[in-house]
Structure formats: C-alpha cells, structure tokens
Structure 1
C-alpha cells in the first residue's frame, strides 16, 4: 500500500510539472517570474559570502588575527622569561631589550620588503629590509635612546654569524663540482676579488687619503660577492631552464663560496698588519704563521669530526652539527682572543670542507641545521650593522667619495670578469651576464665592515676615522649593490641566457648546496 501511494504521488508531481511548464512558457508574465528568480538567486549569492565572512570573524578569532595575537603573546613571554633571569638587562636601555627590538624589527623589515611585488620584476632580498630596520632604529632619537647594545655583545654575535657563513661556505664546496669546473671556477672566484681589492686600495689611497694597508683592508671588505643574493637568483634561473646547458648558474654558485673565503682571508691578513706594531716583513710573516696554524688546526679537527661521532650513533646529523658549530665558534673567537686573527676563519673552512667530504649524503641534513641557525643570526647581523650607522656622523662629501670608490672598484671587477670569461666558451651576452651577476654584496660586508671599527676602538682609538669610513663604504655597498644585483640577475637572465626546455639533468650538479 505504501509503495503504490508513493508511486501515485510521484505521477501526480510529474503531471503537475508537465501541465505547468507550457503555461509558464506561454504566459506573458513569465519574464516577471524569471526576474523574480534572478533577484532571489542574486540575493542568495550575495548572502553566501556574507555567511563565510561571519564564519571567519569568530570567537575565539582564527586566521591572520589569531596568528598576530599568538606571535605578540609569544614575544611578550620571551621578554618575560629574559626579564625574570636578567632583570634590568631586559628593560629599556639593557642589552637583551635592545637585541630583542633589533631582532624582531629586522624580521618585520625583511617580511615587509618581501611583500613588495612589482610585475615582471624579481623580489628584493629581505636582508635589505633588515639593514634598513636597524638603520631606522639607530637614527630615531627616542627609540635609539632606549635601544642600545654593548659593543662586546654586538661583536660576539657578528663573529658567530661570520662563523656560520664560513661553515656553510665550507660545506657548500663540492669537490666533484670543483673538479669539473676546474680553472674557470678558480679563476672566477680569485681574480675579480683580488683585482677589486687592489683597485679599491688605489682609489681610496688617492681619494680618501687612506694608508695603503687600510686601502687593502677596505678592498677585501668590498671584494666579496654575496651568495645570499646570487645563489637564490641562480637557482631560480636554473629551475626555469636558463643557462643550464653551459652550467652558468652552477658556475656562479660554486665560485661564490670560494670568493668569500678569499676575501675573508685577505681581510684578516690586512687586519693583523694594520693593528700590529712591527714592520711590514714581520707583519707578513706573522700573517703567514696565522694562516699555517689555521690550516693545520682545521685539518686535524676535520679528520677528527669525520669519524667522531661514529656512524652507528643516533641523531648523527644533529650531533655533528653541534660539534662542528662549537669547534668553529671556539676557533674564531679564540683566535681573536689570543691574537691569531687569520687562523679562526681558515680553520673553520678547512675543518668543514674535510669533514663534509666524508659525510656524503648526510651532509645535506647538517647543512639544513646550519641554515636554521643562519635564519636566527641573519636578522641580528644586518639589524646590528644598520644600527651602527648614524646619520649625524656621516659627512656629505665622504658619502660622495665612498660612492665614487665603490663605483670605480665595481667597474674594475665587471671588466676583469668579462675578460676572464673570454676564453671559457661563452657568448658575448653570457659574458656580460656573468660579469654583471658578480657585483651583489651583503653578508661578508655586514660582518667585516664593523669589525675594523671595533678593533680600532680596542687597540688603536686614533684610527677610528679610517674604520668609520670602511663601515660607511660597507653599508653603502650593501644598500646599492644588493637590490640592483638581484634586479639585474632576474631581469637580464631570461633575456640573455639560452633556455633549455627539456627537463634533462643539470650539467653541473651541486648536491645538497644551500645559499648562505
């Protein structure tokens, strides 16, 4: 009975629909019906997003608002923990308070710069926003009065940042890639850096009246290229297939780490010569002694870390990363403590390179741990460097001369790089691209620029004027070359380099390499 009744109801509904549809089609008022249907549908469609918005604005809040509140409370709790341990150091004017403000301001500055998106233009490096954040904090009177960091604290943090840079540079050196690149990579890493250092020494000697040893010290500060700018841009071009056939991105990635090593070694050699009281020959011999000690210590420690901890232990990459980081930080800070300025950096590079050749695929995990450590120290590094530069201490004529020296030294570097690539099998456009891609400066300048000023304050206060000019040139180098270099690579690369459409294997593999 129930089934027959349901069937009859279904037939009645069909008959009703068939009887009404032609009436609707023939009815002149059907347009009105359609209009009413459209208005009803539009009203329902308008109410749908409103209901979704009501869902987002909920209690407790969700999404971006929840994230902002969570981060704000976490920041406040970090301050509370530090205040409970240190007391006045966490209050305005204390070191911990200044470090927290600079750290979070640098992170906000880097994130804000990444939000700037211009069509067909590559994104700017976040380190520029970090640098400007520290610069703004220093030059706003009310804020700079309460945000202060002791010179010793700033020096130690920058030295640790330098150590992490050197560790990542040593781990990033791939022996297989270096063998394949051979003379081209070494030539690209060494000669432009040395030529730029020598030209900057000559220009600063005649324009800024620098002594020759200070001129070469300034030259090696400027001589380093920044993998923090070059490597991400090259990896992006490589993923899109540009320059892969001739291995141009791989060449620049491999040479960038070696370039930094040469610049840092030359800087520490010049630093020991500048602040030593002996003659030129004695200073050169003492620098050579520091380099030999650094290489020997790095070799011994590198072979030790290759086998300790052993491969049968748990959490092996974490133990290796902690052991390497502790050894390298001790080497860099300890070498400054005992007066062997050039030993710590060389020890770090040799140690990580020798150890990494034994770790094979496990080296990638260690590199990721070091990348995490760098993400913590990068905002501190660039924020502190920006906070070192005061507008009141800058002279307009000095800024102009520093820009001229920087521009002339860059021209020498570009011309040298172009000439060196003439016999490497690249086309004219590719040689121009390689030469212009070799100008960005950031990380090494952020570490080495203030180091000369801090050393002068401790050992030779009468030389502070030279060291302030070195810091000014380093600051301007980051401010000018980092964004312009990133834009040149991103815009010129797709127009100049040949694109390889097939997803074939990259000509030069740099396994596990990450930029620093």
Structure 2
C-alpha cells in the first residue's frame, strides 16, 4: 500500500511549498487489531474524561477544607480558648462555614440561590442554641456597615449611564412607582392588622419593598441575550432595580435616623429632605475624582482604583452612621461606583468586566453566607409567632399584588409576555432585607430605654424573613423557567423592533458585561 506523506519546506519569502513523496508501507497491518485498539482507547477516554471532570472539583474543595483547618489551627494557637471547638469565636466562624457549604450543596442539587440555605442555617443555629448574634451585636453591627457598601457597589458597577439617560422615563417609573405603592400599602397593612405605629410601618416598608436583582440577574442575562426584541433586558432590570434599592436604603436611613437619633425636630426634617440629594452629590463627586485618581500611568493603577472607591464607600458609611445621616452613604456608593465605571470605561475598562467588578464579586460571594446566616440567628421560633406569620402571609400577598399591578400599568406599551416577565423579576426579596432587618433590634438594644418598641422590631424581623423564604425561590424559578417563553418574539416583531447596527452592538456589549455573575 502506498501512502502520501506531505513534507514542507519553507522559503525565505515565507511561502510554503508542499512536496509529495511516495513511501511503501507493509500490507500486513491488521484492521481488526486497530479497531480493537480504538475501542479500548475510547473506553479509556471515557473513563479519563469522567475523572478529569470530577478530580478538579474534589481537589478544589479539598484545598479549601485544608486551608480552613489550617486557618482555624492558627487562630486557636494564637488566641486560645475562644477558638476551641466549643469557643464563642469558633461558633461564629463555624456557622458561616456551614452556611456557605450548605448553600453550595443546595445550588448544585436544585439550582436555587444558596442564600436560602444560609438563612435556614442561621435559624437552626439559633433554635438549637448554637449561636445567637444578639450576644455579639458589636461584631454583627460592624459587619452590617460593610455589607451595603459591597452589594451596592457591585451592582452599580454594571450600570450603563448612557442607557439610563436614553431610557430615563422607563427606568424611573419602573424603579420608583411600584416601590412607592408597595411601601404605602405595607405601612397601611402593618398599622391596621398588626398595630404598628405609622413610622414603624414605613420603616418596615422601606426594607420590605426592595427588589433583589442579584438573585435573578443571571437568568435575565441568559434569556435576555436570546430574545429578539428591542429591549436591553439586563440593563432595564438592573438599573430599575438599582433605583429601587437606592430608594430603600436611602429612605430606611432617613426614617431610622428620624426615629432613633436624638436631635432637634428642625434638624431631623432637614436631614430627611437632604439625605438623598447629599448622597447623590457626594457619590458623583467621588466617582468623578476616580477618573483622575490614581493616574492611569501609575504602576499600581488597578489596585489603587479599586481601593479608592471601596475605602471611600466604607468610610462614608461608617461616618454618616456615626453622625446620624443614615442612608446617605448607600446612595453615595451607588452614584460613586456608577460614575467611576463610566469614566473607567472611557479609559479602556469594559463595563462590569474589569478588575474592580471582579473584586466586588469575590467580596460579595464571601460575605453573602454571613449576611443571611447571621440574620437567621435573630429569628426566634416559638408557638406565639403563628398568628404573626399568618397575618404576614396575607400582607405579603397584598403587597405583591399591588406591586405587580402597578408594573403592568407602568409597562402598558410593552407586550403582555414582556410585562409578565418583568413581574417575575420583581418578586424576589432577599439582599437588602437580610442586611437591614436586624438593625432595629441593634438600635433598641443599644439605646436600652425603649424596650416597649422591641415587639415591633421582633415582628419586623419575622415578616422580612418570611418574605425572603417565600419570594426568593418563587421569583427565581419563575424567571428562570418562563424567561425563554416570555421573551420569544415572532418574525413581525423582530422586523418592527430591529435596531441599527451600532445600537445592537452596544446592547450586546452591555448584556455581555453581566456574564460573570453567572459564574459566581
């Protein structure tokens, strides 16, 4: 049998000439033997591929466990009894680790958000007497000043300011009107059904009405890229949800400071009127400074840019809380990071695909189990809560009905399927709720002279935990399951909603910018 073998010789000009040369090969090659070898080779490839898939995962978690045990050993050796297996510091760390591990298991088995397992871990830890963060309020309060800076900064780094300017009416109405109506509805229900004072009702409403975009953004990004309509779904949901979050954080800080910070009535009203505007102004100024500081030619420009916005946000939150201007820092962080991201994009950093975004994602993925687990330890299970939970379920249904109805009215010019999709994304309540829910209990414990109001704070927390456990899986599953069907468009709609090429490229780039949330 003759076989052609190609030999290649390269000329100095860079052109390749192929010569063919005949070589005699023996005819005695056994085809059957080769087939047997191929079959055995395929079997080994299958076994090898299975091993290749499972081995990295096992090694990854084995590495994490090893590092965790070594870290615990260092802390035990350095600080002694508090880090023994029954020490108070060990219990705090153990609940966080178990919350993270149970979340990973839940997500791998059901695809549900891991925060649900973390919250249940905290509830069970409190129920069985393993950990109660009421005994460690100084630690919990410190962490709850860090959480908002990370989660708000992470979300606002993905905002496209150009999209917000071009679609400001849609963003404002979708972000503000449903939120305002739900807050008002909740305050009325809490006052009429639970006997809450009006201020406590609006304080609860400011947290309760917040939509949790991080829960559904991976699904929105995935299904939004496959739709053929004119809407940039990731940016619409992200920016409208961001405005919703800004209102929640800002208004909560205003009411909280008004209720608990001792000062003159005139000063209280001045703060209430100026908090949102002062926060926005400070954030824009600091974000604009990030355009020039550090210099783009600095050797450590990446690290310094991240620290500039991160440390600035942390200082703002701690300082404004100390002086009684709660809520100002949350709005400032949203404005700062979105402004900085716009300037960084003009210097070559892709929107939400840059080192700052990655750092915020990693920080939040580390802090998320702590937020929900430690919030769960404030939830006390006993026989007397059944009435509150039943009334709370009714309040939840009423509030969701009002919110979804307002969304349907606000988005009257969209197709019915698209309006239903937006309603699905507006159901989950989790992030802001978990961060701020125990703050009223913290404040009352610190004041010590307003124990008669503790009953409101306890009911406050129960209603929020109930809302998280019910709405988060429902909203996630509806968005993920119905998204492909609801965002499909027919051929006529595709022609009607066809975009110019430049706008299409910008839309695709914006959608791609949130891809990394799926991997984290």
Q: Following TM superposition, by how much is the alpha carbon of 1:138 offset from its aligned partner in structure 2, in angstroms?
A: 2.0
Structure with higher Rg: it is: 1
Equivalent positions of 1:44-123 (< 5 A) are: 69-92=62-85, 94-117=87-110, 123=111
Q: For 1:441-483, what per-residue CA distance to the aligned partner results, in whole angstroms no more than 9, with x for missing partners?
A: 1111111111122112212433211111111111111111110
1:33 maps to: none
Cα distance in 1 for partners of 2:269, 2:163 equals 33
1:415 aligns with 2:405: yes
2:427 maps to: 439
Q: Following TM superposition, by how much is the alpha carbon of 1:116 offset from its aligned partner in structure 2, in angstroms?
A: 2.0
Cα distance in 1 for partners of 2:291, 2:242 equals 22
2:201 equivalent among 190, 215, 219? 215
Cα distance in 2 for partners of 1:479, 1:405 equals 15
2:382 equivalent among 367, 392, 415? 392
Q: Following TM superposition, by how much is the alpha carbon of 1:69 offset from its aligned partner in structure 2, in angstroms?
A: 4.3
- Do 2:250 and 2:275's aligned partners in 1 also have CA atoms closer than 8 Å? no
Aligned length in residues: 468
SS at match of 1:314: coil
- Do 1:167 and 1:352's aligned partners in 2 also have CA atoms closer than 8 Å? yes
2:20 maps to: none
Q: For 1:351-387, what per-residue CA distance to the aligned partner results, in whole angstroms no more than 9, with x for missing partners?
A: 2233222211426321111111111111111111122
2:510 maps to: 510
SS at match of 1:307: coil
Equivalent positions of 1:31-430 (< 5 A) are: 69-92=62-85, 94-117=87-110, 123-141=111-129, 143-144=130-131, 150-239=136-225, 241-242=226-227, 244-277=229-262, 283-360=268-345, 361-362=348-349, 364-392=354-382, 395-422=385-412, 425-430=413-418
With structure 2 as the length reference, what TM-score do the two structures score? 0.81
Q: Following TM superposition, by how much is the alpha carbon of 1:148 offset from its aligned partner in structure 2, in angstroms?
A: 8.4
**CA distance 1:287–1:84, change in 2 (3 Å):** farther
With structure 1 as the length reference, what TM-score do the two structures score? 0.81
Cα distance in 1 for partners of 2:292, 2:276 equals 25
Cα distance in 2 for partners of 1:383, 1:391 equals 15
Cα distance in 1 for partners of 2:55, 2:153 equals 40
1:458 equivalent among 446, 449, 453? 446
Cα distance in 2 for partners of 1:378, 1:331 equals 21
Worse-superposed segment, 283-292 or 177-186: 283-292
**CA distance 1:434–1:70, change in 2 (3 Å):** closer
Worse-superposed segment, 191-200 or 389-398: 389-398
SS at match of 1:395: helix
Q: Following TM superposition, by how much is the alpha carbon of 1:65 offset from its aligned partner in structure 2, in angstroms?
A: 5.8
- Do 2:217 and 2:238's aligned partners in 1 also have CA atoms closer than 8 Å? yes
Cα distance in 2 for partners of 1:367, 1:215 equals 36
- Do 2:99 and 2:121's aligned partners in 1 also have CA atoms closer than 8 Å? yes
Cα distance in 2 for partners of 1:491, 1:507 equals 27
Worse-superposed segment, 88-97 or 218-227: 88-97
Q: Following TM superposition, by how much is the alpha carbon of 1:344 offset from its aligned partner in structure 2, in angstroms?
A: 2.0
Cα distance in 2 for partners of 1:337, 1:393 equals 38
1:476 maps to: 466
Cα distance in 1 for partners of 2:378, 2:445 equals 14
Q: For 1:458-512, what per-residue CA distance to the aligned partner results, in whole angstroms no more than 9, with x for missing partners?
A: 1243321111111111111111111000111122222222258999836745373
- Do 2:250 and 2:331's aligned partners in 1 also have CA atoms closer than 8 Å? yes
1:23 maps to: none
- Do 2:106 and 2:114's aligned partners in 1 also have CA atoms closer than 8 Å? yes
Cα distance in 2 for partners of 1:371, 1:68 equals 20
- Do 2:288 and 2:343's aligned partners in 1 also have CA atoms closer than 8 Å? no
Q: Following TM superposition, by how much is the alpha carbon of 1:348 offset from its aligned partner in structure 2, in angstroms?
A: 2.0
Q: For 1:140-169, what per-residue CA distance to the aligned partner results, in whole angstroms no more than 9, with x for missing partners?
A: 24x348x98611111211221111112123
Alignment gaps of 5+ in structure 2: 1-25
Q: Following TM superposition, by how much is the alpha carbon of 1:192 offset from its aligned partner in structure 2, in angstroms?
A: 0.6
**CA distance 1:86–1:292, change in 2 (3 Å):** farther
Cα distance in 2 for partners of 1:180, 1:384 equals 41
Cα distance in 2 for partners of 1:281, 1:199 equals 28
Alpha carbon RMSD of aligned pairs, Å?
3.5
**CA distance 1:375–1:393, change in 2 (3 Å):** farther
Q: Following TM superposition, by how much is the alpha carbon of 1:276 offset from its aligned partner in structure 2, in angstroms?
A: 3.9
Cα distance in 2 for partners of 1:304, 1:200 equals 40
- Do 2:156 and 2:335's aligned partners in 1 also have CA atoms closer than 8 Å? yes
- Do 2:210 and 2:432's aligned partners in 1 also have CA atoms closer than 8 Å? yes
Cα distance in 2 for partners of 1:321, 1:500 equals 44
Alignment gaps of 5+ in structure 1: 1-9, 18-36, 118-122
Cα distance in 1 for partners of 2:473, 2:55 equals 36
